[in-house]
Amino acid sequence: MFGNKWFVALVVSMCINLGALAQDSAGAKAGEDLHIDIPTALEKANVVIDFGHAVFAGPHEPFALGDINLLASDVRDWNAKGQVVVIFHGDAAYLILNDDAYNANRHVTTGNPYKKILDGIMAKGVQLELCGATAKGNHWGNANLLPGIKVNVNAMVRLTQLEQEGFTMIYQ
């Protein structure tokens, strides 16, 4: 059931990410325009993003946060109906911790450097969720999370539920 959808989502995500990396490294030459051959806008966007692995673009920026921010902006700009949900679990879950919990988890004193972009994503209407099993495994309570983060029972059950409800799954 998940095989083909997971594979397609992974390939699409990789193409987007590789294209963005190529653009960043090559840079656009002055005066060159990008021609969009396939203009796309969504009228309906029920999307769930499975964010279980922190893959970085450069030394500090999780690649998925840029993708999620772009999707959230597009959905908002198009006035698409529906909902975008991001489920954090596994080794990416620490991204949603508040400053004190982030410092303790990452052994730093900087606070959570991702909270500003996460706040911006939530301001665009995206629901951010944490896997309850991941939270329990790390001994995190609701007080350890950034404001606005919701906790589900566990990521696998929630992803299954949303896919059965017709959400498109994107694997990050």
Query: pLDDT tens digit string along 14-62?
Result: 444 544 444 444 555 666 889 999 999 999 999 999 999 888 777 678 8
Mean pLDDT of 136-146: 98
Mean pLDDT across the chain: 86
Q: Classify residue 163: in a domain, yes or no.
A: yes
> At 135, which CATH number?
3.40.1260.10
pLDDT of residue 5: 53
pTM: 0.79
Question: Taking a C-beta distance cutoff of 8 angstroms, is the pair 172, 13 a contact?
Answer: yes
Of 49-58, 82-91, 106-115, 144-153, where does mean pLDDT reach its minimum?
49-58
pLDDT of residue 165: 97
pLDDT of residue 172: 85
What is the Cα–Cα distance from 134 to 112, expressed in whole angstroms? Answer: 18
Q: Classify residue 66: in a domain, yes or no.
A: yes
Q: Classify residue 39: in a domain, yes or no.
A: no
* Dihedral of alpha carbons 141, 161, 127, 6, sign: positive
The tally of domains found in the chain comes to 1
Q: Classify residue 96: in a domain, yes or no.
A: yes
Query: pLDDT tens digit string along 148-170?
Result: 999 999 999 999 999 999 999 99
For residue 17, give the amino acid letter.
N
Q: Classify residue 24: in a domain, yes or no.
A: no
Query: pLDDT tens digit string along 52-72?
Result: 988 877 767 888 999 999 999
Nearest to 129 by CA among 143, 115, 150: 150
* Structural domain range at position 92: 3-17+46-171
Q: Classify residue 35: in a domain, yes or no.
A: no
What is the Cα–Cα distance from 53 to 169, expressed in whole angstroms? Answer: 15
What is the Cα–Cα distance from 87 to 49, expressed in whole angstroms? Answer: 6
pLDDT of residue 28: 55
Numbers of helices and strands, H then E, in the chain: 6, 7
Q: Classify residue 153: in a domain, yes or no.
A: yes
Q: Classify residue 61: in a domain, yes or no.
A: yes
* Dihedral of alpha carbons 68, 17, 133, 169, sign: positive
What is the Cα–Cα distance from 171 to 13, expressed in whole angstroms? Answer: 8
Give the sheet arrangement for strand 47-51, strand by strand: 150-152, 127-131, 84-88, 47-51, 168-171
